[in-house]
């Protein structure tokens, strides 16, 4: 079942990325999606029953993606402003951030969302302690709880609804 779900998802992404579709491109995409699903289907979807819940897709499309895009835009402007104005402070450092997410997919999405936001990068994940180590271009908070709210708080509650 997990391989079928991954095949459908990979093929839909292929179709969206190669728009407008043509028959040879769709067939090539189906072949590539089938190969990917066969080789890695058991790695990505450990709990396929969660994928049957349409509320999770709604949360991802209409809550997570707009929040993620907004945070990326804000971070892009902030980093660009720091580059263009050398008097703005830059205080780089690695911050320890606590997370309540337990699933591999949820942690991966959180780490990638943080890394894809300019000015931050996930350096390490300690699953046992529920901690991410994040490199920031400007460290505002050094206390773990305040840094957790500042960095991962904007994504974590949404990802918990989707993946936990």
> Residue 127: which residues within 8 A CB-CB, separation 6 or more?
107
- The one-digit pLDDT tens for each residue of the chain (164 residues) are 778 888 998 999 999 989 888 899 999 999 999 998 888 876 665 666 566 677 888 888 899 999 999 999 999 999 999 999 888 888 899 999 999 998 888 898 899 999 998 899 999 999 888 899 999 998 887 787 888 888 888 899 899 988 87
Angle, alpha carbons 25-29-6 (nearest 5°): 160
Q: Give pLDDT, residue 43.
A: 65
Q: List C-alpha distances in Å: 118 to 75, 149, 163.
A: 5, 17, 24
The C-alpha atoms of residue 114 and residue 87 are separated, in whole angstroms, by 26
In 3D, which of 40, 46, 42, 147 has the Cα closest to residue 102?
Answer: 46
Q: Give pLDDT, residue 49.
A: 59
Q: Give pLDDT, residue 106.
A: 86
The C-alpha atoms of residue 40 and residue 28 are separated, in whole angstroms, by 18
Q: Give pLDDT, residue 115.
A: 92
Tell me which residue has tokens 């709210």.
149
Is the Cβ–Cβ distance between 4 and 36 less than 8 Å?
A: no
Q: Give pLDDT, residue 72.
A: 93
* Strand partners for 138: 91
Question: Which uninterrupted H or E stretch holds 23?
Answer: helix 23-44
The C-alpha atoms of residue 118 and residue 115 are separated, in whole angstroms, by 7
Q: List C-alpha distances in Å: 105 to 8, 17, 44, 74, 108.
A: 18, 23, 7, 25, 5
């Amino acid at each position: 079942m997990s391989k079928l779900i991954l095949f459908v998802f990979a093929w839909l992404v292929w179709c969206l990325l190669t728009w407008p579709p043509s028959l040879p491109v769709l067939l090539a995409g189906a072949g590539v999606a089938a190969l990917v699903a066969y080789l890695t289907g058991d790695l990505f979807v450990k709990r396929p029953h969660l994928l049957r819940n349409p509320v999770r897709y709604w949360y991802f499309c209409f809550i997570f993606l707009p929040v993620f895009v907004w945070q990326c835009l804000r971070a892009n402007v902030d980093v660009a402003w720091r580059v263009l104005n050398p008097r703005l402070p830059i205080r780089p450092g690695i911050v320890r951030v606590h997370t309540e997410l337990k699933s591999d997919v949820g942690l991966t999405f959180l780490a990638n969302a943080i890394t894809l936001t300019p000015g931050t990068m996930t350096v390490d994940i300690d699953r046992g302690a529920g901690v991410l180590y994040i490199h920031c271009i400007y460290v505002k908070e050094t206390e773990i709880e305040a840094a957790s709210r500042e960095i991962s708080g904007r994504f974590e509650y949404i990802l918990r609804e989707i993946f936990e």
